[in-house]
Structure 1
Amino acid sequence: MDLELRHFRILLAIAEAGSLTKAAAALMLSQPAMTTQLRRIEASFGQPLFERSVRGVAPTRAGELVISHARDAVTSADRIRSYRLRPTADLEPVTVGGCSGPLMGHLTLHLPAALSNPVSFVQFVSTGELLGRVGDGTIDAGCLVDLDGFGAAPAEDVLVDVIGLEPVAVILPAGHPLAGKERIALASLAEETWLLPPNDPGCDDYGALADACGTAGFTPRISPHRIGDLSILCDLVAQGIGLTLAQGSARAREGVVMRRLAGDPLLGRHLLALHRASPLIGARPLLLDLARDAFAARCAKRD
């Protein structure tokens, strides 16, 4: 595992709190997520960084050394972030667009404080429309989600960074015979009807599902409904109209359950798109840092 700034913050929070529970609360993570993250960090070093006892946790000798360097890294990063970046001399207003996913919400909270430029945010329903608006320069940056291997190619002048990959989950009625399984083989859903969102030129949802189902040995039966609102989709699933797909860390609604597919045959890509001529191009490292923080927090909640 490649260590990132968020991992250093976790180590510092644990060292300061002397408790995984208190550190988890300080970082707004669940204790299981905190424990999982610490286990992965320690595995990357090949040795324990904290000693556990009934009184809490304390750094090992190796942990003290790592924490010392982590503190320097975090202090330097915070000092850099404290500078208000000026992509243009005349403080040109900038606009950031977003679709579903965690990235836009995180940028909405943190980007205005890091930029001198006035920032506005616009939500889009269609990934294709958002990507097109970044391409023609009417939106300076965009946060979007597509399906790995089935997203649209960006315009030549648009830089697209993959922030992370997230397994796609299936949403079933709570009373479905397979609802009790932790993972569900896609082949076991061959007789089901699938509810998909409206056609989106930025992401071929049908093509992705058909490809995964074809590999599993069947052709999916698709409902004529085309609905993008997850709440409405969950209502239809709960009533037995069909099944649907969602990002793996989405929140399940009443009457339905979300389950990972065995082998994760479908992956969502969380992306940051930026036009080369955008006034935000100088702030690209900051945007990527904030987007990765948002994705990491989402994954921690899922774990």
Structure 2
Amino acid sequence: MNLELRHLKVVCAIAETGSVTKAASTLGLAQPALTAQLQRIERTLGGPLFERDRRGARPTALGELVLARARVLLPAMKGLQDEAARLAGAVDTPRRYRFGGVNSPILGRLVHRLAAEQPQAQITTYASWSVDELAQLVANGRLDYALTGVCGDSTPSAEFGLSWREVAVDPVVVLLPERHPLAGRDEVSLVELRREQWVAAPGDGCFGDCFAAACARAGFTPRKLYETDVRGSMDLVEAGEAVALCQATFRPVAGLVTRRLAGAPLRWRLMLGWHPEAPAAGFADLVLETAVAAYTDSLSPHPDYLAWLAENPDFGLRGRAIPPAPVDDAVDGVRTA
């Protein structure tokens, strides 16, 4: 592992708080994750940086050396970033946007809005099933932003030092063939689908575990859960082999319908991530605002869902104002959860 500035920040946080637990709270990390990160840093540097006991964490001689260097390097890097930002101050918007997405339902609309508002900008996209892969690419400077989703109230791993902001929260719904006995209902309880086989897009998050837990609360164990891409999911549903888990803004093809799950037992949080020390961080608020507008665009084909959101303020934009109307019609992005 190569030592990075974020590792020096971890060492400084532990020294300043005198405790790995307190440092984890300060950095917004889980204590086991920070402990594992400290162990990797110590292996890289060749020895322990702290003596740890019930009284807290105190720097070793090696730790004092690292802290002395970190307290010089971190302010110097911050000064460099501030000077670079001032030098680039004449540029109001970046010349390129490099997005990574995990089956994002709004990536197409986000790109559409940015391209319309900034015709000279270079916009590229990269797709992956793995949130961790995208986070690593952002941390390494190969992508500017990651647009992904997480289950429930969870957040993407903090291991890569990214800043994450919520765009919106949607209930997970079920995709059925029109001929399904429950397709005529607006809402279906999870237990009514207990004899079905299921399909969803793959990923490295906790969605599979959350789904299994929701089924257990409903009193059953789900049958086979297939994993495939969006087109494969739709094919399995169309063939009557499975029902799919998908987002509420998913717009199915003819012959398929989406139906809400009663009580919204599963939620999907759409998140935007960037590295706080990268140039892209200076434009993160702009991109987040555009992502929120792209999400709002995705709601327009779903008047029933819009009405449901009005009665369920814990979903959707969760208190944010509705952004302006889209610049013009864009092709709808699709995704299974």
TM-score by length of 1: 0.63
Deviation at 1:151, TM superposition (A): 5.3
Q: How does 1:250-265 map to 2 (within 5 A)?
A: 250-265=250-265
Asked if 1 retains the 8 angstrom alpha-carbon contact of 2:199 and 2:233, the reply is: yes
Change (3 A) 1:155 1:135: farther
- The residue that corresponds to 1:234 in the other structure is 234
Q: Distance in 2 between matches of 1:102 and 1:196?
A: 14
- The residue that corresponds to 2:102 in the other structure is 99
Q: How does 1:157-196 map to 2 (within 5 A)?
A: 157-196=161-200
Tell me the matched-pair count.
213
Structure 2: stretches of 5+ with no match in the other structure: 1-89, 307-337
Change (3 A) 1:195 1:110: closer
Q: How does 1:139-158 map to 2 (within 5 A)?
A: 139-149=143-153, 152-158=156-162
CA-based RMSD: 2.4
Letter in 1 for 2:195: E
- The residue that corresponds to 1:295 in the other structure is 295
Q: Distance in 2 between matches of 1:276 and 1:167?
A: 29
Structure 1: stretches of 5+ with no match in the other structure: 1-82
Larger CA Rg, structure 1 vs 2: 2
Q: SS of 2:224's equivalent? A: strand
Match of 2:92 among 85, 92, 98: 85
What percentage of aligned pairs have identical amino acids? 29
- Structure 1, residues 91-146: CA drift from partner, whole Å, max 9, x if none? 6x542222323432233223356669853322313142223322333211111123
- Structure 1, residues 8-32: CA drift from partner, whole Å, max 9, x if none? xxxxxxxxxxxxxxxxxxxxxxxxx
Q: Distance in 1 between matches of 2:286 and 2:187?
A: 37
Change (3 A) 1:189 1:293: same
- The residue that corresponds to 2:213 in the other structure is 211
Asked if 2 retains the 8 angstrom alpha-carbon contact of 1:127 and 1:145, the reply is: no
Letter in 1 for 2:206: D
Change (3 A) 1:257 1:115: closer
Asked if 2 retains the 8 angstrom alpha-carbon contact of 1:185 and 1:261, the reply is: yes
Q: Distance in 1 between matches of 2:242 and 2:119?
A: 48
Change (3 A) 1:260 1:141: same
Q: Distance in 2 between matches of 1:135 and 1:152?
A: 13
Q: SS of 2:232's equivalent? A: helix
Asked if 2 retains the 8 angstrom alpha-carbon contact of 1:135 and 1:155, the reply is: no
Deviation at 1:156, TM superposition (A): 4.8
Asked if 1 retains the 8 angstrom alpha-carbon contact of 2:169 and 2:270, the reply is: yes
